[in-house]
């Protein structure tokens, strides 16, 4: 049990709450809005894909950053630099999850199977982007933004605008809150010549960029609702989600980072779960 707990901590399994609710939205959009048939086994496969992809991405990130994490006081006690999980064991864990992910997509449909290496390239490649570009936050956003699109494709095997809009909403949402999270490492990143928006622009301007990204996310959420012709359940979902986006920006300032974790995890976790539940209520009430 201790070993399982260590690996769950390595991949920050609790952070699955960010992308998973949007994957569920994408899945049921295909069924309730576009009228594809529901299959329990396919829902299970989508959930497994989410677990395998996230486990591969997070454990690879920890493996790739193990030496950097060891030098950063904030991350020095993480599982690999702390000696709890060996680098070799972490890499084996990455490879197993990649194999399981690709194998699971094979049972979904050919399109998902053919696109699975592309998804892995994005979610694994993110781990190295901080070494050469401050746009690393957007690569993370793209990786999580694949969730609603991929889940929709698992049912439909074809692209539609609506799930793509939610993919873009996730992209800007995640990029914005990842910039807030990166505020903690501004000085460390500069000292190690690592790239991030805070390291490039400073805390104040980085927060302005985060604000702008969340405004764009809000516009997409509203635009998607108008495009789809959704009713009051959806607008309640949007009000809660956008309200929590605004709220997280009241928790953090350039001179006060004490509540970054509250803004990063708690607020965004609640926002995604409540939004998904209320959007599902909208879909099933149609």
Residues with Cβ within 8 Å of 224's Cβ and at least 6 positions away in sequence, in order, are 162, 165, 166, 169
The CA distance from 268 to 285, in Å, is 26
Helices 161-182/136-156 angle, 10° precision: 150
Query: What per-residue confidence (pLDDT) applies to 137?
Result: 97
Q: Which residues contact 156 (CB under 8 A, 6 or more apart)?
A: 30, 34, 36
- What distances in angstroms separate CA 81 from CA 77, 84, 123, 192, one per listed residue? 6, 8, 22, 17
Residue ranges of domains in the chain = 2-284
Consecutive 10-residue averages of pLDDT for the chain (286 residues): 66 72 97 97 96 93 95 90 92 96 98 98 96 96 97 97 98 96 94 96 97 98 98 98 94 88 82 96 94
Tokens of 142: 């793209």
Using alpha carbons, select from 177, 125, 211, 163 the residue that is nearest to residue 18.
177
d(CA 229, CA 217): 18
pLDDT of residue 286: 82
CA distances from 260 to 31, 80, 240 (A): 37, 24, 20
Long-range contacts: 82-90, Cβ < 8 Å, 24+? 84/6, 85/6, 85/7, 85/10, 87/63, 90/10, 90/59, 90/62, 90/63, 90/66
Contact 177, 210 (CB under 8 A): yes
Which overall architecture, per CATH, does domain 2-284 show?
Orthogonal Bundle (1.10)
For the stretch 113-139, pLDDT in tens is: 999 999 999 999 999 999 999 999 999
Of 192, 200, 184, 180, the residue nearest 65 (C-alpha): 192
The answer to whether 55 touches 20, Cβ cutoff 8 Å, is no
Its pTM surpasses 0.85: yes
What's the token pair of residue 261?
């974790």
């Amino acid at each position: 049990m201790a070993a399982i707990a260590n690996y769950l901590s390595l991949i920050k399994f609790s952070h699955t709450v960010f992308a998973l609710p949007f994957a569920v939205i994408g899945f049921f959009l295909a069924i309730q809005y576009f009228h594809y048939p529901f299959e329990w086994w396919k829902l299970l496969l989508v959930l497994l894909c989410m677990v395998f992809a996230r486990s591969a991405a997070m454990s690879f990130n920890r493996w790739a950053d193990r030496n950097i994490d060891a030098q950063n006081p904030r991350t020095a006690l993480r599982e690999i630099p702390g000696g709890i999980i060996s680098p070799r064991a972490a890499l084996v864990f990455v490879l197993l999850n990649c194999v399981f992910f690709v194998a699971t997509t094979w049972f979904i449909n050919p399109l998902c199977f053919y696109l699975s290496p592309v998804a892995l390239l994005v979610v694994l490649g993110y781990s190295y982007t901080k070494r050469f570009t401050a746009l690393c936050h957007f690569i993370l956003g793209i990786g999580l933004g694949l969730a609603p699109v991929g889940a929709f494709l698992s049912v439909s095997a074809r692209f539609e605008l609506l799930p793509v809009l939610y993919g873009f909403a996730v992209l800007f949402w995640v990029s914005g809150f990842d910039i807030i999270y990166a505020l903690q490492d501004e000085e460390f990143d500069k000292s190690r010549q690592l790239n991030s928006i805070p390291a490039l622009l400073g805390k104040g301007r980085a927060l302005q960029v985060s604000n702008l990204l969340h405004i764009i996310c809000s516009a997409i959420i509203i635009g998607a609702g108008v495009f789809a012709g959704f009713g009051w359940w959806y607008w309640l979902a949007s009000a809660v989600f956008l309200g929590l986006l605004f709220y997280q920006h009241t928790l953090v300032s350039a001179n006060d980072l004490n509540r970054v974790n509250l803004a990063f995890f708690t607020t965004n976790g609640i926002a995604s779960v409540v939004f998904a539940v209320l959007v599902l209520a909208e879909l099933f009430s149609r």
